[in-house]
Amino acid sequence: RSNEASSTENDIFVRSVRATSEDDSVKKEDGSTFRIRTTVFFFIYGFLVLLAFIGFLVWRLRRSKLKAQNNNSYVARFFSRISSNTYSALQNIYNGMRDTGEAVPEELRDCPVHEQLRTHYMPYKKKYEISNENLEKKKYLGKGNFGVVRMGLLKMADPKTEEEEKKRLTVALKSAANCYDITQTSMLADELRLMCAIGRFPNVLALVGAVTVELRRGRLLIVTEFIDCGDLHSYLKVHKDIFEDHLVEDRNEKDEPDSYLTPLSAKRKTYLYTKEGGEQEEVIKESLKSLTTSDLLSFGLQIANGMQYLATIPLVHRDLALRNVLLKNNKTVRIADFGMARIHQTSSYYRTKKTKDAPIPVRWMSPEAVDNMIFTQQSDVWSYGICLYELFTLGGLPYPEIKTDDVYDYMKAGRRCSQPEHCHVELYNLMKLCWNMKPELRPTFSVIVEYFIEHMKNSAPQLLDYVEKMLKVEADNQRQLDDWIRTPQPVS
Ligand SMILES: Nc1ncnc2c1ncn2[C@@H]1O[C@H](COP(=O)(O)OP(=O)(O)OP(=O)(O)O)[C@@H](O)[C@H]1O
């Protein structure tokens, strides 16, 4: 039995050995199948990756070929569309803008800048050049007589830190509506030279820089600060319904003359800055959803302030109207649009535009400017008086009851716009001074600013302080624009 038992154990042993060797051979078989499968898998995978890579290379190659073709056809289109005359005209504009380094001759120094524009003494300053790569074009903002304006983002030219690298400045980009139109490009180039000469001032739209490298191909871009709330005229019209009149009968000084400047005026009014309980009101709410007489007063002073600066250059604006004054969300304003179309008034371009689509704005123009199209600081002062009328009627049309064709005869006959409802009599008196038939008897912008300051010192001193503070902040902001265009200095 013991022999039987041991033979059974041997059998089991032999079986188990046989089984183990069978398992091994199965495992070996499995292993090699696995290896074959893996190799095939990697081979197919690698082949697919290779195919994809080749596909990508072919795509890149075709794309760059297409691009080159497009560029060539753009250049071909450009050269086929422009005649050699146009090309040399663009070359002339380009040359005319360059700084020759010559000093302005004595006799030209006090000439209005529009005169100086005809010479090469008012050059484009190279420090304003911006690399196209640092600009990103954004949405369309509007179109003027000869230019198209878009919003853009500007990258710092020479960022010093990671934070500066990421920063972007929102700007406005102005280009010619049709870059093959020599008149438009030349107006744009003149506007750029003019803006270089104007420099920076809180109530005047500031130049940030320009892209001029492709000017000989008709491409010129003026980069200005972005003023976010549109033009002042539209703002007043839209916000008419929320307007609050701060002008009240003066209850405190009944025995005093009606006005310190015009003692015989019928009404004595002052601006109210206290609530019922005697609590002090904010002079101006920064929110655009609030519009009061104080805001109108502040806008009037700011426009006069900007015009006073332009007059010192000396620059005649020629198209001063609230539609050409831009508003920022902190309620500061910028005079924009320096009347380039008017300088080119002799060109047929100007005439077709102004007679067909944009008639001469006779309601804003002084009689002598309508008569002979001669613009001076005094004709700007007349237009400023009209701006005051627009302000205090909340965007009302000057001479509303008169047809455009009859306006000239109406003002020639000595008739003027009537006193707006929300306007202090002293400010209406100022308007009438601006509308003197004799240009030499109208106040200068310096006198207008002084008049305003005097008026505010007497009736709204808090407001005067407030406006002065706002303008200091704006001057600082404009100074910082240089940081965006400052290019890396070569290491000495
Ligand atoms: N710096 C800016 N910031 C924000 N918007 C602007 C700026 N400049 C212009 N715009 C917008 O673009 C529009 C067109 O401006 P642009 O100065 O070209 O034309 P315009 O004043 O209507 O006409 P023109 O210069 O031909 O007399 C303006 O009405 C304004 O709404």
Q: What is the pLDDT of residues 196-215, one digit of tens each?
A: 989 999 999 999 999 999 99
Mean pLDDT of 471-486: 96
Q: Are strands 207-211 and 221-225 parallel, antiparallel or unpaired?
A: antiparallel
The preferred substitution site among 148, 149, 154, 349 for testing ligand 1, maximizing ligand atoms within 8 Å of CB, is 149
Q: So what's the pLDDT on residue 20?
A: 54
- pLDDT above 60 (res 383): yes
- Check if 190 is active-site: no
Residues ≥6 apart with Cβ < 8 Å to 488: 157, 158
pLDDT higher than threshold 50 for residue 349: no
* Sheet (strand 207-211) strand order: 135-143, 147-155, 168-176, 221-225, 207-211
Nearest-CA residue for atom 15 of ligand 1: 144
Q: How far is the CA of 322 from the centre of ligand 1 (A)?
A: 12
User: What is the pLDDT at residue 284?
Assistant: 81
Q: Using 50, 70 and 90 to split pLDDT, how confident is the model at 347?
A: very low
User: What is the reported pLDDT for 25?
Assistant: 62
Closest ligand 1 atom to 148 CA? 18
C-beta of 229 in contact with ligand 1 (< 6 A): no
* Token pair 């086929």: residue: 80
How many angstroms is it from 367 CA to the middle of ligand 1? Answer: 26
Q: Which residue has the higher pLDDT, 409 or 72?
A: 409
pLDDT of residue 38: 84
**Statement: residue 356 has pLDDT above 50:** no
Catalytic residue (choose from 295, 319, 337, 380): 319
Distance 364 CA to ligand 1 centre (A): 18
**Is the ipTM of this structure higher than 0.90?**
yes
Residue 250 — very low, low, confident or very high, per pLDDT cuts 50/70/90? low
